[in-house]
Amino acid sequence: MMDINYVREHAEKVKEAAQVKGFDVDIDRLLELDEQRRSLIQETDQIRARRNEVADAIPKASNEDRPALIEEGRELKERLSGLDDELKDVQKEYRQVLLMVPNVPHEDVPVGDDDEDNLVVREVGEPREFDFEPKSHEELGEYLGIIDKERAIRMAGSRAYALKGAGALLEFAVMRLALDIMVERGFTPVVGPLMVNREAMVGTGFFPYGEDDTYHIEKDEKYLVGTSEVFLVSLHREEILEGEELPRRYAGYSSCFRREAGSAGRDVRGIYRVHQFTKVEQVIICEADKEVSDKLHEELLGNSEALMKKLELPYRVAVACTGETGLGQVKKNEIETWMPSRGKYSETHSCSSLYDYQARRSKIRYRDESGDIKYCYTLNNTMAASPRLLIPILEHYQNEDGTVTVPKALRPYMYGMEVIEPPSASR
C-alpha cells in the first residue's frame, strides 16, 4: 500500500505509474476521499472534545444552565453519530481505492507493455544444438511414463497433470537441491499454511487485483495460496521487529494454486501453465533502505542463478518492463530458461523488490537504532518452481533414443539414477 503522504505530494507521478503499469485507478478520487476523511476526522474530534466539556460541565452547572447543556449534549451526540456513519463510508471507499494504487517503478525499469519489451541484461550458457529431431517434454513424459496428463485431466479437469516414477523423483530432487542451496546460504526453511484468510492475501498485495486468479474455499472463508510468499511475509504481520534482527531470510516450500483466469487457450499443451505446482520461494524482510534493498535483490537473484548453473541450463536475465511489473513491485528481474520445444527463453523465476508496499498493508514494522518505528521493506524471488522447471531439464538433457540424462547435480537426490528410461527398459 502506498503512503498517502507520498501520493498527495507526487500525484502526477503516481498517475503515471498506474498508466505505465496498466492499472485502472482514480487518483483524483483517492485525493478527494482523503480530503473528506481528514476533514471528517477533524470535525468529529472537535465535537468529541466539546461533548466531553459539556459532560464535565453538567454536574457543576446551575439549575438554570443545566437544561441547555443537556440539550447541547444530546445534539452533539446525534451529530457525532451521523458523522461517524459518514466517516465510516468514506474510510471504506478510501481504503478500497488506496489498495489499488500501484507502487512507483524503479528508475531502472523500462517502459513497455509486455515481455517483448523486457530488457535482457545477460545470457548464460548456450542453447543446445541437436543432431537429431528433439522431442517436447510432453512427448518425453509420455514415452518415459513420467508425466500422465490424460488420467489427471480425467479426475481433475484441464491443466491437470500427474508426475510418476522418475518424474516425481525429479521434482523432489529439484526442490531438495534448491532448499539445500537456501539453507547453506543462511535462509530459514518454512513450511506454512496453504489455506489463508483474506487479510493475508490483502496484506501481501494479491488482493484485490488477483482475486479472480485465486481459489476460494467459501465454506471456511479461506483462500489457497499461489505462492509461499503469502505465508512467509505474513509470518510477521502486525509485528514490530528489532532492527538488529534484520534482514530476516526465509525459504518457503509449498504447493501453490492458481486459477489462471484469463489464460484460456494459452499454453494448453504440456505442463508450462497449470493450476497446481510446487515451489521453493525466497523472501527477505529488511530495513527501510533502498540501497540495502537493491543489494538484497541481487542476492536473491544470485541464489536462483546458482541453482541454474548447478543444473547447467542455458538462461538469461531480464529487467521486466512496466507492463510486466506487478501492483506492489518497484522492480522485477525475470530469469528465462531456454525451452527447445517452445523455441525461446521462457520465464522460470521472478525476482521482485516491493520496498514498504507489503509491510504497510501487513503492518510489519521495526525499531531502528534511534528507537523510531518504521515500516520494513520486503523482497521475494522464485528459487525453483515445478513442473515448469522440469520442461528445460527434460528437453535439454534428452537423448536420441528418448531417454533423459539426469543432471549431475540432481543425481544424489535421485538414488544415483543417471538416466531416465521408459518403464519397459528399466525393468
Per-residue pLDDT, 74: 87
Whether 350 is catalytic is: yes
CA distance 359 to 373: 12
Name which of 192, 237, 263, 235 is nearest 362 in CA terms: 237
Whether 122 is catalytic is: no
Predicted TM-score (pTM) above 0.85: yes
> What one-character DSSP code corresponds to residue 245?
G
Per-residue pLDDT, 265: 56
Query: Does an H or E element contain 346, and which?
Result: strand 344-355
Strand-strand pairing, 365-367 and 240-242: parallel
Per-residue pLDDT, 262: 59
Per-residue pLDDT, 427: 45
**Long-range Cβ contacts of 36-42 (<8 Å, 24+ apart):** 36/90, 36/94, 37/87, 37/90, 37/91, 37/94, 40/83, 40/86, 40/87, 40/90, 41/87
Amino acid at 251: A
Whether 39 is catalytic is: no
Which of 287, 347, 395, 421 is the catalytic position?
347
Which of 136, 293, 341, 350 is the catalytic position?
350
Whether 427 is catalytic is: no
Whether 273 is catalytic is: yes
> What one-character DSSP code corresponds to residue 222?
E
> Could you tell me if 275 and 259 are in contact, meaning their C-beta atoms sit under 8 angstroms apart?
yes
pLDDT tens for the chain, residues 1 to 427:
899 999 999 999 999 999 999 999 999 999 999 999 999 999 999 998 998 988 888 888 888 888 888 888 889 888 888 999 999 999 999 999 999 999 999 999 999 999 999 999 999 999 999 999 999 999 999 999 999 999 999 999 999 999 999 999 999 999 999 999 999 999 999 999 999 999 999 999 999 999 999 999 999 999 999 999 999 999 999 999 999 999 999 999 999 999 986 555 565 678 999 999 999 999 999 999 999 999 999 999 999 999 999 999 999 999 999 999 999 999 999 999 999 999 999 999 999 999 999 999 999 999 999 999 999 999 999 999 999 999 999 999 999 999 999 999 999 999 989 999 998 754 4
Which of 237, 273, 342, 411 is the catalytic position?
273
Which of 51, 159, 248, 258 is the catalytic position?
258
Question: Would you call the peptide bond into 387 cis, given omega within 30 degrees of 0 as the criterion?
Answer: yes
In the numeric block, which cell numbers belong to residue 257?
494454486
Which of 248, 360, 365, 388 is the catalytic position?
388
First to last CA, the chain: 57
The CA dihedral of 125, 254, 357, 288, to the nearest 10 degrees, is -70
Per-residue pLDDT, 426: 45
> Could you tell me if 375 and 365 are in contact, meaning their C-beta atoms sit under 8 angstroms apart?
yes
Domains of the chain: 4-98 (1.10.287.40), 115-426 (3.30.930.10)
